[in-house]
């Protein structure tokens, strides 16, 4: 035993060597430690990361989206001009998955050079549950697909709205009221719905050849209900398979004449509430690079025997079909649209072929060139062929 | 006056009743993790089936994670999506918006044996089909076709695998291929197995 220890005992030289090695290791360790982050350093970084994450994962989100467009129009009987500088910012405020506020403003330049500001929509959306959202405020009319889904210029594949789908045409534009929207799977098929109650439209009368007649419908989400009668309506959409959607819309209620075109509204008195009925159907079919969609809307206003502007009823009706093709592996797209708009006034009736070529710089920044062959009452704007160019950017 | 009162009561009663009924159907307590995580695979499918119904497909890389939250909720209302579809699509978009990153350099080739062990077809269907389609022809308008004899599959395996892993965008296209198809969990081996499946199926 003793012997063993004596043998194992290192020499002084060896010990000195070991000590030297330990010294070197120690120095290395010190150096490493100096480069290492301390606990405090790590806590500091953690804090910073947490702070940064607050930006990413807050309960309240504020977001801005929207679109803008500029254009040029050259009609047969008019000199070409730059037009429609249009800026539509959308503001979103969201609190978790409970509620969202959506508001879209529209700034546009009028022919006279003034700037117009409109509130396109303003709604508070309450996400009630996975299948229902309650929307209150001024909203785009859920009747059909053009107004609620396609009118923003970066989405619309042509620079113009189809005749009858613009402001005061056959299709309602917006509504002020309450709307319940959502979607649910039904027998393995995707469906969506929107039902609403709102103030409804107002009617415009015209004094011509010694009598009053209905001139137009303003279905633009009035902030008050002058006739006290609500309008009810909605749309139901079915997607039998991915790529195809078919929708049916209707709305019904009462509407009253509240203004006279180029006349004195003060003359109106005791105007009768008229029946107001809208029917519509739309479809959208996507097959590879092809897209075919179409839409029909009919608005019927009943007659009234009461009031200054007592007159028979009238019907507005319009439909369009639009086909587009995105060339494979390129940014070019070709589009064609046919529209037939019938109103109670010959001067407004119009059939139109619109042909266009689009260059998609990106999917939200588009240059559009189009030519419209318009056929209407000769001598009217509705009969003028037009060339249109538009640049649209959705952000 | 009496009639007016009755009408008023009726209206208030009706509105109150509807809000109560809706409130009962709503999830009153807030989920602890907002936005709740959805399912990537279901999300990619729901995205490709819904998000180009109205407008051209917006690229996942267009927006940041938080911007996608408000946008997808906006679209939920517009498109009549269910809450589940919304969460799934959001999960897919937030995973697929990583920028193209070529800094990693070239990827090591994966051995034939490793590829043979993995079923590339299944992984393709779960992760790549939403954009490239079951038939490889591409689901998004204007997208290139894998079955095109002079198309993308004329590139070498190394080039293609690199582009799948790092992400890729060519001059003519309006959307990038997201790194790893948006699913960061897919390993290089699995992606190589998918590529081998793509070659087998679509370049006949």
Give the chain A residue nearest B47 (alpha carbons): A242
Considering only the beta carbons, identify the residue of A129, A242, A360 that sits closest to B49.
A242
Could you write out the DSSP letters of every residue in B97-147? Answer: TPPP--TT-PPPP--HHHHHHS-HHHHHHHHTHHHH-TTSS-SSTTPPPTT
Statement: residue B25 has pLDDT above 70: no
Where is pLDDT greater, at A298 or A288?
A298
Residues B65 and B142 placed together within one structural domain of the fold: no
Residues B159 and B193 in one domain: yes
Nearest to B25 among A129, A290, A394 (CB): A129
List pLDDT tens digits, range A199-245. Answer: 999 999 988 888 888 988 888 878 777 777 899 999 999 999 999 99
> Alpha-carbon distance B181 to B48, whole Å?
13
CB atoms within 10 A of CB A220: 18
Interface touch B74/A100, C-beta < 8 Å: yes
Residue of B nearest to A246 (CA): B53
Cβ neighbours of A289 in B, within 8 Å = 141-142
pLDDT digits (tens, 9 = 90+) for A355-394: 999 999 999 999 999 999 999 998 888 899 999 999 999 9
CB contact under 8 A, A100 and B73: yes
Instruction: Using CB atoms, pick whichever of B53, B62, B83 lies closest to residue A284.
Output: B53
Q: How far is A331 from chain B (nearest CA, A)?
A: 6
Q: Are the beta carbons of A328 and B145 separated by less than 8 Å?
A: yes
Residues of B in contact with A181 (CB under 8 A): 77, 80
Which of B52, B70, B71 is facing A286, going by the closest CB pair? B52
| The predicted structure's pLDDT at residue A8 | 62
- d(C-alpha B71, C-alpha A194), whole Å: 20
Q: Which of B20, B73, B91 to mutate to test the interface with A (most CBs of A within 10 A)?
A: B73
Domain boundaries, position B41: 34-97
CB contact under 8 A, A155 and B54: yes
**CATH number of B189's domain:** 1.10.760.10
- Residue B192 maps to a domain: yes
Contact A128 B78 (CB under 8 A): no
- Say if residue B136 is in the same domain as residue B88: no
Residue B10 included in any domain: no
**Is the pLDDT score of B164 beyond 80?**
yes
**A182: nearest Cα among B85, B6, B48, B79:** B79
> Which pLDDT score is estimated for B29?
53
Whether residues B119 and B84 share a domain: the answer is no
Q: Do A127 and B55 touch (CB under 8 A)?
A: no
Q: Is residue B152 within 8 Å of residue B162, measured between CB atoms?
A: no
The answer to whether the beta carbons of residues A137 and A176 sit under 8 Å apart is yes
Per-residue model confidence (pLDDT) at position B120: 92
Cβ–Cβ < 8 Å for A369, A389 = yes
Answer yes or no: do B67 and B117 share one domain.
Answer: no
Q: Do B144 and A125 touch (CB under 8 A)?
A: no
Q: Are residues B136 and B194 in the same domain?
A: yes
Out of B35, B73, B77, name the one closest to residue A135 (CB).
B77
Of B162 and A225, more confident: B162
- Higher confidence at residue A115 or residue B14? A115
B116/B198 same-domain check: yes
Same domain, B127 and B172: yes
Q: Please, what's the b/e burial string for B102-137 (b: 16 or more CB within 10 A of its CB; e: otherwise)?
A: eeeeebeebeeeebeebebeebbebbbbbbbbeebb
Which of B133, B117, B132, B113 is closest to B175 using CA atoms? B132
Taking an 8 Å cut-off on Cβ atoms, the answer to whether B25 and A132 are in contact is: yes
Is B142 within 8 Å of A102 when comparing Cβ atoms? no
CB atoms within 10 A of CB B148: 17
Tell if the CB–CB gap between B74 and A65 is shorter than 8 Å.
yes
ipTM, two decimals? 0.86
Hey, are the CB atoms on A331 and B78 less than 8 Å from each other?
no
pTM of the model: 0.89
Q: Give the closest of B36, B80, B143 to A181, CB-based.
A: B80
pLDDT over threshold 60, residue A2: no
Listed residue (A370, A94, A366, A143) closest to A252, CA to CA:
A143
Q: Would you say residue B51 has pLDDT above 70? A: yes
pLDDT (average), residues A141-163:
96
Q: A234-254 burial, b for 16+ CB within 10 Å, e for fewer?
A: bbbbebeeebebebebebebb
Same domain, B87 and B126: no
Quick one: which H or E segment has residue A228? none
Higher pLDDT, B110 or A107: A107
Task: Give the total number of structural domains in chain B.
Answer: 2
pLDDT tens-place string over residues A232-270: 999 999 999 999 999 999 999 999 998 898 888 888 888
Helix (H, G, I), strand (E, B) or coil at A102: strand
Interface mutation target, options A53, A63, A362, chain B, most CBs of B under 10 Å: A63
Query: To probe the interface with B, which of A53, A129, A140, A248 has the most B CB atoms within 10 Å?
Result: A129
Give yes or no: residues B79 and B136 share one domain: no
User: Chain A contacts of B144, Cβ < 8 Å?
Assistant: 328-329
Same structural domain for residues B76 and B45? yes
- Chain A residues with CB under 8 Å of B81 CB are 183, 192
In a domain, B67, yes or no: yes
Residues B157 and B75 in one domain: no
Mean pLDDT of A2-29: 80
Nearest CA in chain A to B135: A288
For residues A265 and A247, the answer to whether their CB atoms sit within 8 Å is: no
β-sheet bridge partners, residue B177: B168
Whether residue B180 is contained in a domain is answered as: yes
């Amino acid at each position: 035993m003793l012997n063993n220890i004596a043998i194992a005992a290192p020499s002084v030289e060896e010990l000195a060597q070991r000590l030297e090695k330990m010294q070197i290791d120690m120095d290395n360790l010190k150096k490493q430690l100096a480069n290492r982050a301390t606990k405090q350093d790590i806590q500091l970084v953690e804090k910073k990361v947490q702070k940064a994450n607050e930006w990413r994962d807050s309960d309240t989100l504020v977001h801005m989206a929207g679109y803008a467009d500029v254009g040029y129009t050259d009609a047969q009987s008019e000199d070409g001009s730059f037009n429609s500088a249009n800026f539509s910012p959308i503001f979103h405020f969201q609190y978790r998955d409970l509620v969202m506020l959506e508001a879209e403003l529209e700034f546009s330049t009028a022919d006279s050079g003034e700037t117009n500001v409109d509130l396109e929509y303003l709604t508070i959306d309450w996400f009630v549950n996975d299948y229902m959202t309650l929307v209150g405020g001024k909203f785009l009319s859920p009747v059909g697909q053009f107004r609620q889904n396609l009118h923003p210029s970066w989405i619309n594949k042509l620079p113009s709205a189809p005749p009858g789908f613009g402001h005061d045409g056959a299709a309602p534009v917006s509504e002020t009221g309450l709307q319940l929207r959502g979607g649910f799977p039904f027998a393995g098929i995707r469906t969506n719905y929107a039902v609403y109650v709102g103030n409804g439209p107002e009617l415009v009368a015209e004094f011509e050849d010694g009598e009053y007649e209905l001139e137009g419908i303003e279905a633009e989400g009035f902030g008050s209900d002058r006739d006290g009668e609500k309008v009810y309506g909605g749309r139901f959409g079915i997607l039998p398979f991915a790529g195809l959607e078919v929708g049916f819309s209707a709305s019904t209620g009462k509407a009253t004449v509240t203004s006279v075109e180029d006349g004195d509204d003060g003359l109106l008195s005791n105007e009768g509430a008229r029946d107001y009925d809208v029917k519509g159907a739309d479809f959208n079919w996507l097959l590879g690079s092809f897209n075919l969609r179409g839409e029909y809307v009919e608005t019927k206003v009943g007659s009234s025997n009461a009031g200054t502007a007592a007159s028979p009823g009238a019907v507005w009706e319009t439909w369009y079909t639009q086909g587009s093709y995105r060339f494979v592996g390129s940014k070019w797209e070709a589009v064609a649209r046919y529209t037939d708009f019938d109103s109670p006034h010959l001067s407004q009736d119009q059939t139109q072929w619109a042909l266009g070529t689009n260059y998609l710089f990106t999917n939200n920044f588009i240059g559009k060139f189009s030519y419209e062959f318009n056929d209407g009452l000769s001598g009217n704007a509705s009969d003028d062929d037009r060339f249109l160019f538009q640049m649209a950017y959705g952000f | 006056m009496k009639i007016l009162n009755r009408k008023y009561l009726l209206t208030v009663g009706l509105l109150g009743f509807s809000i109560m009924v809706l409130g009962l159907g709503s999830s009153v307590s807030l989920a602890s993790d907002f936005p709740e995580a959805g399912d990537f695979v279901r999300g990619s499918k729901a995205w490709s089936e819904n998000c180009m119904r109205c407008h051209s497909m917006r690229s996942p890389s267009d927006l940041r994670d938080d911007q996608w939250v408000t946008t997808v909720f906006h679209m939920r209302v517009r498109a009549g999506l269910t809450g589940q579809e919304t969460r799934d699509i959001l999960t897919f978009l937030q995973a697929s918006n990583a920028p193209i990153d070529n800094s990693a350099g070239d990827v090591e080739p994966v051995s034939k044996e490793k590829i043979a062990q993995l079923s590339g077809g299944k992984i393709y269907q779960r992760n790549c089909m939403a954009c490239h389609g079951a038939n490889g022809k591409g689901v998004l308008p204007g997208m290139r076709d894998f079955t095109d004899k002079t198309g993308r599959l004329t590139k070498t395996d190394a080039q293609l695998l690199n582009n799948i892993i790092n992400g890729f965008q060519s001059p003519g296209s309006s959307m990038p291929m997201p790194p790893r198809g948006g699913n960061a969990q897919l390993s290089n081996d699995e992606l190589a197995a998918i590529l081998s499946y793509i070659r087998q199926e679509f370049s006949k």
